Amino acid sequence: MLSRTLRSGAALTELGFGAAQLGNLYRPTTDDEARAAVDAAWASGIRYFDTAPHYGLGLSERRLGEALRERPRDEFVLSTKVGRLLVPSGYPEGTMDDGGFAVPATLRREWDFSRDGVRRSVEESLERLGLDRIDIAYLHDPDHHGEQAHAEAIPALIELREEGVVGAVGAGMNQSAMPAEFVARHDVDVIMLAGRYTLLEQGALDDLMPLAAERGVGIVAAAVYNSGLLSRARPAADATYDYGPATAEVIARANGIADVCEEFGLTLPEAAVAFPLRHPAVVSVVVGMRTADQVVGTVDRYGAEIPEGFWQALSDRGLVRDA
């Protein structure tokens, strides 16, 4: 599998393993399923793995760390995130997490983008992972904490990078405007952009993408199926988009793209995986994978041969803005 290199020197495979499902996203995943998914990813050549404390209240980090611990450490890139500390919840026994993960709520998330909070988060992630270092540390969804993110959190990550505790720093968000500010104002290495530079939506071309290319900042494209809308050959009538019901206009545009896919013998998800990698700033596409079968299917999509004429047809019909 091909890789692209950050200016920090970390080489990310073009397809990355998103480990939210290993934290029981929406429904339980067994330990065996989680381990088999990581094993299948490794066998396929995937060497970039992304997780976060938020995912299953630490369950994703623990499972991913256990599955990677026996692998040669210099052969993979691991990223996790800061901004949500995990603290004892004090909730009654049997209470389940209300953050989208099927896990007991023995812990709760506490927002903290302070210098001390960032350092504590990295230390606790290293303990859960059982690994000796973190290759990339992202601020996780600092949307409502912008002032503290600029004043404390990003400088704290840069400090940890200078100390050698983490290899590269940046932010992971569902918007492009604030990450563009981080790129403009700070010495960050990489941005994980969820849902804002996809086959369906290219708004990040107005701010983040050109700036990242100019500054040599890598972009990791996540949520490339836009909440599942692009994950099948045709969007369902009740498809979701940006974590809510998709409008008729959005579904119609997705169907227009699907029409072109069919003309070229392609599928919508194959094109969705491939599209972000056409931008010079994008270093990896991260897709959430729960089982070994999902890994195999995603790798097959990544490997699809897509002719240049397909992209030209989308552009000619006004269906995409191609960088």
Say if residues 189 and 154 touch (Cβ distance below 8 Å): no
Say if residues 298 and 310 touch (Cβ distance below 8 Å): no
Quickly list DSSP for 49-85. EE--TTTTTTHHHHHHHHHHTTS-GGG-EEEEEESEE
DSSP state of 2: -
Dmax (CA) for the chain in angstroms is: 59
Rounded to 5°, the CA angle 215-217-221 comes to: 140
Active site residues: 55
CA dihedral 173, 175, 178, 179 (to 10 degrees): 60
Burial class (CB in 10 A: 0-12, 13-18, 19+), 212: buried
Tokens for 161, please give them.
């990078």
